[in-house]
Amino acid sequence: GRAMLGKLRVYSGTEHNHQAQQPKTLEI
């Protein structure tokens, strides 16, 4: 759980720059 969240944060930091219009992904 925690490890996945950490990976998601790093992934989001890069990907969300392009998908900033999808806040639903942040809710994961």
Q: Where are the domains of the chain?
A: 1-28
Average pLDDT over every residue of 1-28:
62
For all residues of the chain together, what is the average pLDDT?
62
Res. 3 pLDDT band, cuts 50 70 90? confident
27 φ, ψ (degrees, to nearest 5) = -75, -15
Closest CA to 28 of 14, 13, 15, 9: 9
Residue with tokens 């994961």: 28
pLDDT at residue 20, as a whole number: 55
User: Would you say residue 28 has pLDDT above 70?
Assistant: no
Who contacts 5 (Cβ-Cβ below 8 Å, separation ≥6)?
A: none
User: Would you say residue 17 has pLDDT above 60?
Assistant: no
Half-sphere exposure for 14 (CA within 13 Å, toward CB): 4
